[in-house]
A = this chain, B = another copy of it.
Amino acid sequence: MSPEERLARLQQEMTRPPFHHWLAPEAVKAEKDRIEIRLPAARPEFCHSLEPALIHGGVIAALIDIAGYAVVAVEQESPAPTISMTIEFLRPAPATELTALAILRRLGRSVAHADIEIRADDKLVALGRGTFAAKGEKYK
């Protein structure tokens, strides 16, 4: 896959699902085993509270799911349904741009493993890790 094809695939992953129409994650970068996406604007409906303005954990969880799925799906050029996922919330996330970096740790025959880091204004706010269905397996 060329770098352009990778990025095009990532963009497709970001725009296709109806849920993403609402959340509006954007493709930033797509390299081998490594993608980056972002939520450029922290809209009020992403928040747990407004004063102080803090992002809701559910939005962070959703972003982790999307980024992990995407790094596997782009690599294997096919859907990668999430099997399981863990999230650690390191600190409150200010309502600013959020970025998600996803790294493919292992692409096995039927399961893939990915790590995800969420940053708000370049500060690490959450860690994610997930297992995803690998190519050629309709996992259930």
Which positions in A face B, CB cutoff 8 Å?
A: 17-19, 21-23, 44-50, 56-59, 61-66, 69, 81-92, 105-106, 108-111, 113, 115, 124, 127, 129, 131, 133, 137-140
Contacts and interface: CB of A to CB of B under 8 A. Distances in A.
A88 B109 contact: no
Contact of A19 (B46, B108, B129): B46
A106 B129 contact: no
A113 B87 CA distance: 11
Nearest to A45: B22
Contacts of A92: 81, 140
A23 B58 contact: yes
A135 to B, nearest CB: 12
